[in-house]
Structure 1
Amino acid sequence: MAVKRADDPRGNLETSRGFDVWGFLLFSHGWTWLWWSVPIAFGWHAFRFPGIVFLVVGGLGVTLGGVVMSWQVGGRAGLADLGRRLVDVRRIPIRWAVLSLILWPALALVAAGAAMADGTTQPMSAAPLVDLLADPVALLGTLAVIFLLGPLHEEIGWRGYWLDRLQLRWSALTASLVLGVAWAAWHAPLFLMVGYFGSWDFTPDLAQYALATVTAAVLYTWLYNNTERSVLAAIVFHFLANATGQLLELSSEAQVYQTVATIALVVVVVLWWGPLHLRRGNERPLPPT
């Protein structure tokens, strides 16, 4: 049974059994975990052949989920809507564009400052960034890899498709938390893959990573809902988050402060905007389910 909705720009099909929500997970998690399980089982290095093939192809699960389900739910109009939100810079007000560019570096600096005030002698190292600045080709290559291995292909699914479907059912806060848990779980096999985090000289703690991901999902929704559902804004935000984490190395103490600062910001955002929308009050509310 399907219900058509003429007032919903995010697609005109909802299924009474929720296939528009859980169907996405078949692609995002089912596809990805199937492919990633192979190099994990055989102990192949993530960035060497043949492991890298399974890493890259498996990572496309979120992209496939976003594209296929956008077409399944909204047809050609759904795909066209996704395409517009990927490239239309006019959706992003200047203040939100600035926020998407500076928030993650600012949180890292705040965390480093707090750790230093607490007695940490070297809370942050910019050595990876400094080394790359001396080699522009290597810098561009690193930034391209960061961009392609996460922000671009993931946001087509997470914010490009799934967040809208979740917000049709739940408040923006609940939808963010659900997405955050699924997002963290999707990445979990990477912690078992030989060489993945080691290649970046970066091995996060799984529990802290999961907490940071779920918390960050609220901020992504806040940005997304205030930029007319811009996937482009989410991609830039995701890129700056990953680039900051890999080019500005925080000590373990500073990482704790960064998590605390992010949670504090989320609390402020939820209290100020409200858990229902995390958006400006003069915008049209989400259609009811």
Structure 2
Amino acid sequence: MTARAPLERTRGFDVWGFLLFSHGWTWLWWSVPIIADWHVFEFPGIVFLIGGGLGVTIGGVVMAWWIGGQTGLADLKRRLVDVRLIPGRWAVVTLALWPALALVGSVAATVVDGASQPASAAPLLDLLAEPVVLVGTLLVIFLLGPFHEEIGWRGYWLDRLQLRWSALTSSLVLGVAWAAWHAPLFLMVGYFSSWDFSPDPALFAFNILVGTILYTWLFNNTARSLLAAIAFHFVGNATGQLLDLSPQADFYQTVATTALVVIVLLWWGPATLRRDEERPLAPY
């Protein structure tokens, strides 16, 4: 199948069609356990939790096919499996940036506020004593966010946004949509209480908005690698769930992340967030 005619694109269907599908599907499914007051990690609530989360995945795949046909699907697959798209220095950024920012936040809490224990690796250490549980936990972290979300956000949607707007504007649009997509989780019985943290909704949304700029920065410097985005997302989520930060350290981590974003924007430029002048365009 060849790419679709440009009629849908001129009407913005390639952008807003995905948004309507991803949020509509997810919020419809997630509304059921919220209304029924079901625990989302127990049956039947977990069925709706998982089913709803697939909205952004299905939306990314369906829209890649609808707009790009077989070319769109092939491009999605290539960026998912091709490790060669990620230069060595960007592999380091992918795997080390989030832990490094957590460390900076912890050190700042110690130096500025005199915190005696700004961070604890107890969750990780407990899991290391039970390798099977550790693997299971990492698998859950991987599946409940990084893999299925990135197929939509960076696998499909970011490309379409950057065809219209600058990298910074695209990041902000995606960040707002991404934060809003998560909003029902705060209304679900047992979702955040089942983990070792319960984020403040406003800080959670701000961190997503700021972090989205870093995702775009990584995306545009790894030849649009979906694999890099998934790994970046996974490391970020794993760091947050396996390392307990004090409220002060968490605050300073947010400050450090925001400062890094400012540096990135000043160095790379808000229009591109990349070294070269070519914008990353989808091949369809």
TM-score bracket relative to the smaller structure: over 0.9
Aligned to 1:54: 48
Residue-by-residue CA offset, 1:97-121 (whole Å, 9 max, x unaligned): 0110000000000000000112112
Residue-by-residue CA offset, 1:203-241 (whole Å, 9 max, x unaligned): 000000000000000000000000000000000000000
Residue-by-residue CA offset, 1:74-127 (whole Å, 9 max, x unaligned): 001000000000000000001000110000000000000000112112111110
Question: Unpaired segments of 5 or more residues in structure 2?
Answer: none
Letter in 2 for 1:171: S
Letter in 2 for 1:285: R
Letter in 1 for 2:137: T
Identical columns (%) = 73
Q: Which of 157, 166, 176 is matched with 2:161 structurally?
A: 166
Residues in 2 aligned to 1:201 and 1:287: alpha-carbon distance in whole angstroms: 40
Residues in 2 aligned to 1:218 and 1:119: alpha-carbon distance in whole angstroms: 31
Instruction: Indicate yes or no: 2:29 matched with 1:35.
Output: yes
Secondary structure, counterpart of 1:103 in structure 2: helix
Letter in 1 for 2:64: S
Aligned to 2:216: 221
Question: Unpaired segments of 5 or more residues in structure 1?
Answer: 6-11
Letter in 2 for 1:65: G
**Structure 2 counterparts to residues 166-185 of structure 1, below 5 A:** 166-185=161-180
Bigger shift: residues 17-26 or 213-222: 17-26
Residue-by-residue CA offset, 1:232-274 (whole Å, 9 max, x unaligned): 0000000000000000011111111011000000000010000
Cα 1:74/1:108, change in 2 over 3 Å: same
Cα 1:284/1:59, change in 2 over 3 Å: same
Aligned to 2:129: 134
Aligned to 1:190: 185
Number of residue pairs aligned between Structure 1 and Structure 2:
279
Residues in 2 aligned to 1:159 and 1:212: alpha-carbon distance in whole angstroms: 17
Cα 1:116/1:18, change in 2 over 3 Å: same
Is the 1:223–1:234 contact (alpha carbons within 8 Å) kept by the matching residues of 2? Answer: yes
Aligned to 2:145: 150
Bigger shift: residues 18-27 or 206-215: 18-27
Aligned to 1:79: 73
Quote how far apart the aligned CAs of 1:201 are: 2.0
Instruction: Indicate yes or no: 2:275 matched with 1:244.
Output: no
Is the 2:224–2:280 contact (alpha carbons within 8 Å) kept by the matching residues of 1? Answer: no
Quote how far apart the aligned CAs of 1:32 are: 0.2
Instruction: Indicate yes or no: 2:57 matched with 1:63.
Output: yes
Letter in 2 for 1:59: G
**Structure 2 counterparts to residues 259-270 of structure 1, below 5 A:** 259-270=254-265
Quote how far apart the aligned CAs of 1:139 are: 0.5
Instruction: Indicate yes or no: 2:226 matched with 1:231.
Output: yes
Aligned to 2:266: 271
Please give the TM-score of this superposition, normalised by the length of structure 2.
0.95
Please give the TM-score of this superposition, normalised by the length of structure 1.
0.94
Aligned to 1:9: none
Bigger shift: residues 188-197 or 12-21: 12-21
Structure 1: 4+ residue segments shifted above 2 A: 283-288
Is the 1:13–1:74 contact (alpha carbons within 8 Å) kept by the matching residues of 2? Answer: no
Q: Which of 203, 209, 217 is matched with 1:208 structurally?
A: 203
Letter in 1 for 2:107: G
Cα 1:286/1:247, change in 2 over 3 Å: closer
Quote how far apart the aligned CAs of 1:14 are: 5.5
Residues in 2 aligned to 1:199 and 1:98: alpha-carbon distance in whole angstroms: 31
Quote how far apart the aligned CAs of 1:13 are: 7.3
Residues in 1 aligned to 2:192 and 2:281: alpha-carbon distance in whole angstroms: 41
Residues in 1 aligned to 2:212 and 2:236: alpha-carbon distance in whole angstroms: 12
Is the 1:24–1:162 contact (alpha carbons within 8 Å) kept by the matching residues of 2? Answer: yes
**Structure 2 counterparts to residues 12-31 of structure 1, below 5 A:** 15-31=9-25
Residues in 2 aligned to 1:201 and 1:142: alpha-carbon distance in whole angstroms: 13
